[in-house]
Structure 1
């Protein structure tokens, strides 16, 4: 995977969406910014921050990923790969369904995913050193670049969804103490049932994690 580092950008995610559609880059590709001024978070929220935190987006063709992975699983898949890397460095990070990184009870980052034709775009933001009010920060010291290269290398290994899901299924119990957003509604995850594809059944409705 080609990795490009830039000083400053409005949004790594929107940059990749535009570049893929305009065919100015080819997959697999990753862009990492020192500073992101207008990053995109879940449900249209902004995810921005200062130098030292992680702002990365990447695109990868579906055929370069394991054959047991589908659209409903992709946000969890990318999030868990990064979480497992952080744990190897000694972090106590866990993933709240479907795409948020937490330390204890505080959110420290998240993942968003978009699909364009047969390519997935994933974007990961993590508070490595600084944080906004009411958010958390990573519980270990690790360089941004180390995480970027480790993530790209792990992604290229094509870990099976079944392998990733077996670890997430255990962590999902922590998510039951929180809410998720389904459309404009805030729904408790206390009674949610996790499906094998990473979706959840809640109030007799299947909710998917691609966002």
Structure 2
């Protein structure tokens, strides 16, 4: 059973969990940390993620040998982000997953996920704007119980579904990406002609692009 620590305030759930891992044996994993508020969150491309009390701040750690057998680590962000997207959809949201790890409502970002490997452990961190968003971002389009969301999501994670099963669903929805852009090597690249490959990489004009986070 995955243990969940609920905190009131931390600098970053990612940082808190990484420090906790230094004192935690593999037998005590997997483990998750959620906080009502974080003061120095970590976003994609080393950006900060604004900490507004009441939004979702969640990190969890899973031993590499407990991941689905067919999951390549380069596609871990897609895998775990899609499971959260699916959880939100089941609660009534119109959210979709922008490759590889951002959550969108229409053309506005509402959150994102990052993954890191620490020794033999995969650490995932996610932030979602539930009640308030910075300028140019959006909030989720439904009212929900945060603990219900967290526990429902982590139950999906614990099912250890095969990559191919999760990917099959994501591939059907990938067309939502075609109106958006990604940043590759600090350049803004359109996804209008991007093709999603079976391993989770993108094929853009003949070049294969893999998730770096």
TM-score greater than 0.5 by the shorter chain: yes
Residue 35 (structure 1) shift: 0.4
Pairs aligned (count): 210
| Cα distance in structure 2, aligned partners of 1:27 and 1:199 | 29
The match for 1:155 is 157
The match for 2:3 is 2
The match for 2:50 is 48
Matches within 5 A, 1:6-45: 6-20=7-21, 22-24=22-24, 26-45=28-47
Q: Is the CA contact (8 Å cut-off) linking 2:70 and 2:164 kept in structure 1?
A: yes
| Cα distance in structure 2, aligned partners of 1:210 and 1:118 | 18
- Partner SS state of residue 175, structure 2: helix
Of 101, 105, 116 in structure 1, the residue corresponding to residue 118 of structure 2 is 116
Residue 55 (structure 1) shift: 0.2
1:30-55 Cα offsets, whole Å, 9 max, x none, are 00011011100000111122221100
Matches within 5 A, 1:1-211: 1-20=2-21, 22-24=22-24, 26-211=28-213
| Cα distance in structure 2, aligned partners of 1:207 and 1:117 | 25
| Cα distance in structure 1, aligned partners of 2:145 and 2:135 | 23
- Partner SS state of residue 189, structure 2: strand
| Cα distance in structure 1, aligned partners of 2:99 and 2:56 | 20
Q: Structure 1: which 5+ residue stretches go unaligned? A: none
Q: Which runs of 4+ in 1 moved over 6 A?
A: none
- Partner SS state of residue 176, structure 1: helix
Residue 109 (structure 1) shift: 0.5
Residue 23 (structure 1) shift: 3.3
| Cα distance in structure 2, aligned partners of 1:101 and 1:53 | 14
Residue 66 (structure 1) shift: 1.3
Residue 111 (structure 1) shift: 0.5
Residue 181 (structure 1) shift: 1.0
CA 1:203–1:16: 2 relative to 1, 3 Å: farther
- Please report the TM-score for the alignment, with normalisation by the length of structure 1: 0.94
- Please report the TM-score for the alignment, with normalisation by the length of structure 2: 0.94
Q: Structure 2: which 5+ residue stretches go unaligned? A: none
RMSD over aligned CA atoms reads 1.3
Bigger RCO of structures 1 and 2 (CA < 8 A, at least 6 apart): 1
1:149-189 Cα offsets, whole Å, 9 max, x none, are 11111111111111111111122111121111112111111
